[in-house]
Chains A and B, each alone.
Chain A
């Protein structure tokens, strides 16, 4: 069961309409290293985790990623909601507009729709945790590229928070991997 809280995990403020920035940030909504992929990856891997700490970590980080998805959606929504059509065309967002108007949809920065092939759920907890550590690093890199591309200091502030969370999640997955190794070693010798 999940409940909804009528609040963001971190404040979102934008300097003004900026469809060019929205076009690249949307990749963290529906792109290969985005928050939808992250959340669904962890929430679907948790069922076959062998130890209680791992089940908790995947449930809790998977849930936090849903909150990050909401932050990214809020950024994109506010960057395009008042953007004039001329600006949308100049930003190369006219193809997106043709299919979605100013609505939110799960695509990467070049418009390709989200696909389950972005994620894996392998059953082997060591394999899955390595995948998750790599995923956190890929998301960290993406946020760094987005910060480089951003010309809006308020947006950059929110992107920096999201980047920082990738670092923390990577750390927690690494600790979980060590705990799983310890568990497997115990199973082998006793």
Chain B
């Protein structure tokens, strides 16, 4: 995996982790609207970054959550346990 791809992937990982952590917090604090705004901002940035990554390197998710125009790229390696960070 070249450094451009790895950096984009790391950006996605950081944004999604932000979403995971806010998600768990919001589960027990659903009326915290400041946290909700942070969640939505991170979610929007995540969606945009995933779109950019997937256009270059293929789908990140299966079952129709990411499109696969032209070719079926889902089976392409590396899988997460094969990625060298």
Other-chain contact of B27, A5, A8, A57, A74 (Cβ < 8 Å): A57
Q: Which residue on chain A has the smallest CB distance to residue B62?
A: A4
Q: Which of B30, B60, B62 contacts A7 (CB 8 A)?
A: B60
Query: Which of B16, B79, B81, B85 is the most central at the interface, judged by chain A CB atoms within 10 Å of its CB?
Result: B81
Q: How many chain A residues have a CB neighbour from B under 8 Å? A: 28
Min C-beta distance of A157 to chain B, whole Å? 10
Given A3, A6, A56, A175, which contacts B80 in the complex, CB threshold below 8 Å? Answer: A6
In the complex, the chain A residue whose C-beta lies closest to that of B80 is A8
Is chain A's interface secondary structure helix, strand, loop, or mixed overall? helix
B81 touches A78 (CB 8 A): yes
Contact B24–A3 (Cβ < 8 Å) = no
**In this assembly, does A135 line the interface, its C-beta being within 8 Å of a C-beta of chain B?**
no
Given contacts A4-B62, A12-B85, A13-B85, contact A175 B17 (CB under 8 A): no
A168 and B17 form a contact (CB under 8 A): no
* Interchain residue pairs with CB less than 8 A apart (19): A4-B61, A4-B62, A9-B13, A9-B16, A9-B20, A11-B85, A53-B27, A53-B30, A56-B27, A57-B24, A57-B28, A64-B24, A70-B80, A70-B81, A74-B81, A172-B24, A172-B28, A175-B28, A176-B27
